[in-house]
Structure 1
Amino acid sequence: MGVENYPPLLDKAAQKTGEVRDRINAVLTTLSASLAGRGAPWGNDKIGDQFTQGENGYFVSRENLTTSAANMATTFDNFSTSQTDAAFHLRTMDLGNGDQYRT
């Protein structure tokens, strides 16, 4: 029984994971720019306050959404970095193990 590893495939996975991170960040950037460009479509009246204020209001919901998406991007960034690091260490270990058999 042996252990097999494929660092090139892990590198490829790290790249794709990084692309997911980049896409999430691009969506966040586009969303933020779009929302900023539109201004506030609600009025400064009671109905506008009901829509925007409170724990279920627009402002809190918007903040929760953007924070959650940013956290997802950070998580994918961490995954990508860990995959790259793991591939590096697997290569290093494999080369070190192979050096034992060289005379």
Structure 2
Amino acid sequence: MAEKLIVTPNAVRAGGNELLAAQAAFETIMRTLSTSVGSNGSETWGTDSYGKQFAEGTNGYYSSRGNLLKGGSDMSDTLREFGTGLIDASNTAVKTESGNTSAF
């Protein structure tokens, strides 16, 4: 026999709020990282051949930095969307239950 799964709107809403709190904290971390990455200037490693090898190309610093910051931004957006989605689902469940209850 299958186990029962009970989901309450309040628990779903609480999960959504936790995700939004995590998103806010993660966004702060990413903002700090972005500021820190940019605070040392764009070419602290120099413009000689070693510096260019470090910075350029698909595996170089420029590409890696861009990927990291873009990935962090995307993660923050995803956390926000999931959190908001859970809260919206909770609100819809409450509204539907209220509508169904009043029909009886």
TM-score (normalizing by structure 1): 0.89
State the partner residue of 1:7. Answer: 9
State the partner residue of 1:45. Answer: 48
Which sections of structure 2, spanning at least 5 residues, go unmatched? none
> Cα deviation per residue 1:45-96 (whole Å; 9 max; x = unaligned)?
1110000001100000000111111111111111011101100110001111
CA distance in structure 2 between the aligned counterparts of 1:94 and 1:4, rounded to whole angstroms: 15
Runs of 4+ in 1 over 4 A off after TM superposition: none
Give the aligned residue type for 1:24.
F
Share of identical aligned residues, percent?
28
Match of 1:93 among 93, 96, 99: 96
Report how many aligned residue pairs link the two structures. Answer: 100
Larger displacement relative to structure 2 (51-60 or 33-42): 33-42
> Cα deviation per residue 1:7-46 (whole Å; 9 max; x = unaligned)?
1111110111111211221111001111222223201111
CA distance in structure 2 between the aligned counterparts of 1:91 and 1:5, rounded to whole angstroms: 12
Match of 1:80 among 67, 79, 83: 83
* Cα offset, 1:4, TM superposition: 4.4
CA distance in structure 1 between the aligned counterparts of 2:9 and 2:86, rounded to whole angstroms: 9
Q: CA RMSD in A?
A: 1.6
Larger displacement relative to structure 2 (37-46 or 69-78): 37-46
Which sections of structure 1, spanning at least 5 residues, go unmatched? none
* Cα offset, 1:100, TM superposition: 2.0
CA distance in structure 1 between the aligned counterparts of 2:25 and 2:56, rounded to whole angstroms: 30
CA distance in structure 1 between the aligned counterparts of 2:44 and 2:75, rounded to whole angstroms: 29
